[in-house]
Amino acid sequence: MAKALKALIISADDFEDTELLVSYYRLKENGVQIDIASMKKGTIKGKHGYEIEANKALGEINPDDYDMLILPGGKAPETVRKDKDAVRIAKSFFEKEKPVSAICHGPQTLITAGLLKGRHATSYKTVASELKEAGALYIDKDVVVDGNLVTSRQPSDLPVFLKETIKKLNEIKK
Amino acid sequence: MAKALKALIISADDFEDTELLVSYYRLKENGVQIDIASMKKGTIKGKHGYEIEANKALGEINPDDYDMLILPGGKAPETVRKDKDAVRIAKSFFEKEKPVSAICHGPQTLITAGLLKGRHATSYKTVASELKEAGALYIDKDVVVDGNLVTSRQPSDLPVFLKETIKKLNEIKK
């Protein structure tokens, strides 16, 4: 049997509940092992009150242990993007061209990491201007795929966001 | 190209947000057309505050128009089960052996419709006793599949609940 793929979700308090949870459950459905990392270990709480355990602290993450990075939205990315380890991890995924899926405010961490210059991407509408300032080629579309990068705008895009994310998973040869 | 499959979700206010939304997004990912029916048309609101449009009233539903029935949980099924059209619809799906997936408190509507006698099923733990009284063979397991019927206990079971639900979809020949 093939070795299980591993995904890392980075988030924090005030995550957009469905963007994190729908992605989490969808990857689990496909047998993916998932770690959730935040500034520190422990329960994080979504904007709508759902709680989930961040079983890892960002500082202890070795990105080489993971096949895929997921960046859900909400208000969490405003905090996550300020964390030097979150930036370090995102850079590593891009250097190694491993799949990164970011939705809503999720791309903000990639902006801070300086990873979107010349890349086709989308985001929540209020993030569009800073995405463009960061040199991204912004497209107002439910899902944008550019190489290793899958981006979407909002919760209602989750079906196509996850369809493309699962495609990226299926391309990974273990 | 094959004709799109159609699913019906029956719910009401105080639905368990993830049980409805994760199922809804998952079916959409597979190109399934979905109607959401409640006692009357209009916005219904989850326990955690998510809102979704019930685009159909139960009274106008012809079950023959649908390939699959989804019954999410929360407090909604307590209301739904009292609706004679919800009962009529559930009975029709069972008579024609079409897939029915119910999670958490979702099976309560099937109990009221008298459809679980002799069937293997699970539910949220607090529903177990009335499930047994209705003649179901209750099993405390993340997912139980018995013929057309897929049941699960709670939100954390969503990955296996949806895996089995998608399997049922894939068995439908159009």
Interface residue of B15, B18, B164, B170 to substitute, partner A, most A CBs within 10 Å:
B18
Contact B52, B44 (CB under 8 A): yes
Confidence category of residue A3, pLDDT binned at 50, 70, 90: confident
Taking the CB of residue A75, how many other CB atoms lie within 10 A of it?
15
Please give the biggest Cα pair distance in chain B.
46
* pLDDT recorded at residue B13: 98
B68 close to B102: Cβ distance less than 8 angstroms: no
Pick A50's closest partner by Cβ from B48, B159, B160: B48
Q: pLDDT, tens digit, for every residue of B125-163?
A: 999 999 999 999 999 999 999 999 999 999 999 999 999
Work out the burial of residue A141: count CB atoms within 10 Å of its CB; fewer than 13 is exposed, 13-18 middle, 19 or more buried: middle
- Which chain A residues touch B if contact means CB-CB below 8 Å? 17-18, 21-22, 25-26, 28-29, 48-50, 158-160, 162-163
What pLDDT is recorded for position B3? 77
Give yes or no for residue A2 having a pLDDT over 70.
no
Nearest to A159 among B29, B48, B162 (CB): B29
Closest C-alpha among A94, A104, A89 to residue A36: A89
Average pLDDT rounded to a whole number, residues A138-162: 98
- Alpha-carbon distance of B137 to B119, in angstroms, equals 6
Instruction: Name residue A42's beta-bridge partners.
Output: A54
The pLDDT tens digits for B28-39 are 999 999 999 999
CA distance A126 to A104: 9
Residue B151 token pair? 């049941």
Could you tell me the residue ranges of all domains in chain A?
6-171
Residues of A taking part in catalysis: 105
Q: Check pLDDT > 80 for residue B53.
A: yes
Is the pLDDT assigned to residue B2 strictly greater than 80? no
Using CA coordinates, name the residue in chain A closest to B32.
Answer: A159
Closest CB from A21, A29, A163 relative to B18 = A21
- State how far the alpha carbon of B164 is from the alpha carbons of A18, A161, B29, B112, in Å: 21, 21, 15, 24
Which token pair is A93? 């995924």
CB within 8 Å: B21 and A22: yes
CA-CA distance, B103 to B146, in Å (whole number)? Answer: 14
CB contact under 8 A, A25 and B160: no
Find where tokens 């040199």 sit: A135
User: B156: distance to nearest CA of chain A, Å?
Assistant: 8
As a whole number, the mean pLDDT across chain A is 97
Instruction: Provide the number of CB pairs (under 8 Å) joining chain A to chain B.
Output: 52
For B2-142, where are the alpha helices, taking DSSP H only?
17-29, 76-80, 84-95, 108-112, 128-133
Query: What integer pLDDT is reported at residue B78 of this predicted model?
Result: 98
Q: In chain B, what percentage of residues exceed pLDDT 90?
A: 96
| pLDDT 10s digits, A92-125 | 999 999 999 999 999 999 999 999 999 999 999 9
CB atoms within 10 A of CB A101: 28
In which residue are the tokens 């990105």 written? Answer: A63
pLDDT digit string, tens, across residues B94-111:
999 999 999 999 999 999
Question: Helix A17-29 vs helix B17-29: angle between axes, to the nearest 10 degrees?
Answer: 60
Judging contacts by C-beta atoms under 8 Å, the chain A residues touching residue B167 are none
Q: CA–CA separation, A9 vs B10, rounded Å?
A: 32
* Res A126 pLDDT > 90: yes
What sign has the CA pseudo-torsion B158, B159, B164, B170?
positive
Question: Given a cut of 80, is residue B173 above it in pLDDT?
Answer: no
**Per-residue pLDDT tens digits for A29-80:** 999 999 999 999 999 999 999 999 999 999 999 999 999 999 999 999 999 9
Is the confidence at residue A16, as pLDDT, over 60? yes
Amino acid at B54: A
- Of B26, B98, B105, B168, the active-site residue reads B105
Among A22, A171, A66, residue whose Cα is nearest residue B25: A22
| Closest in B22, B26, B49 to A48, CB measured | B49
Q: Do A159 and B21 lie within an 8 Å CB cutoff?
A: no
Q: Mean pLDDT throughout B106-131?
A: 98
Fill in the amino acid letter for B126: T
Q: What is the DSSP code string of chain A?
A: -PPPPEEEEE--TTB-HHHHHHHHHHHHHTT-EEEEEESSSEEEEBTTS-EEEE-EEGGG--GGG-SEEEE--BSHHHHHTT-HHHHHHHHHHHHTT--EEEETTTHHHHHHTT--TT-EE---GGGHHHHHHTT-EE--SSEEEETTEEEE-SGGGHHHHHHHHHHHHHH---
- Kindly state the average pLDDT of the residues B33-47: 98
Q: Which stretches of chain B sit within 8 Å of chain A by CB?
A: 17-18, 21-22, 25-26, 28-29, 48-50, 158-160, 162-163
Instruction: Name chain A contacts of B18, Cβ cutoff 8 Å.
Output: 17-18, 21-22, 25, 50
Task: Say whether A22 and B22 touch across the interface (CB within 8 A).
Answer: yes
Indicate the CATH number for domain A6-171.
Answer: 3.40.50.880
pLDDT recorded at residue A174: 58
Closest CA to A29 of A174, A163, A121: A163
Chain B interface test: which of A17, A20, A22, A36 (most B C-beta within 10 Å):
A22
Residue B159's closest chain A neighbor by CA? Answer: A29
